[in-house]
Amino acid sequence: MKKGTVALIVVAVVGVALFFSFKGNYNEMVVLDEGVSSAWAQVENQYQRRADLIPNLVSTVKGYADFEQKTLTAVVEARSKATSITVDPSNLTPETVAKFQKAQDGLSGALSRLLVSVERYPDLKANTQFQQLQVQLEGTENRIAVERRNFNNTVQGYNATVRQFPRNIIAGILGFGKKGYFESTVGSENAPEVSFE
């Protein structure tokens, strides 16, 4: 065989090997990216479920004329803000996830203040509809926690893949960037102070 033919065969074999390696890495990143999008959709579904419960909760509480209007207004405004923020699954950067989380944390805080205020209204606490809504809300908060954990686990697998060498080169060329995680709320590492005065 001629040297030129051997060199051509070697180049062809290397080229085919590189093509299949590139193709395999690309397809794996696409599958992982779709997994992240799917996990994000589940997170959004649970947050939407919570947002859908709030109007019923607010209308039940409104039935008690002397209930703090300021607290109800804060819940309604926080819900409006939380539902107005949408994140494109293809743009789940750490900044966009943090912005979404901040709005959801605002709603969580407003709901917490509402539920603390309810303690001063024994008739409201005894209301069957309110109790059912409170149980549904509690269940939804648990579902949110589960889906956030699933999302973070999925993102961890994706991020590890797109940052490994030589995949990071392919990821950079094809636009597969690092995705953001849900993080603990600032201050959640400190236990709340309880005072029985």
Residue 125: per-residue pLDDT: 80
Tokens read off for 145: 């926690």
Are the C-beta atoms of 60 and 127 separated by less than 8 Å?
Answer: yes
Kindly report the pTM of this predicted structure: 0.79
Average pLDDT for residues 24-38, to the nearest whole number?
92
How would you label 128-150 residue by residue, b for 16+ Cβ within 10 Å and e otherwise?
Answer: eebeebbebbeebeebbeebbee
CA distance 91 to 175: 11
pLDDT over 60 at 36, yes or no: yes
Could you give the angle at the alpha carbon of 46 between the alpha carbons of 45 and 48, nearest 5°? 65
CA distance 91 to 45: 18
CA distance 119 to 114: 9
Average pLDDT for residues 25-46, to the nearest whole number?
93
pLDDT over 60 at 187, yes or no: no
Task: Give the model confidence (pLDDT) of 122-170 as tens digits.
Answer: 888 888 888 898 889 899 999 999 999 999 999 999 999 999 998 898 8
SS3 content of the chain, % helix, strand, coil (to 5): 80, 0, 20
Mean residue pLDDT of the chain comes to 85
Please name each of the domains of the chain with its CATH number.
3-174 (1.20.1440.20)
Average pLDDT for residues 86-109, to the nearest whole number?
90
| Position 70, amino acid | K
pLDDT over 60 at 39, yes or no: yes
CA distance 183 to 90: 19
Are the C-beta atoms of 37 and 110 separated by less than 8 Å?
Answer: no
Residue 128: per-residue pLDDT: 87
What is the SS3 assignment for 178? coil
DSSP one-letter code for 90: G
Least confidently predicted of 28-42, 44-58, 109-123: 109-123
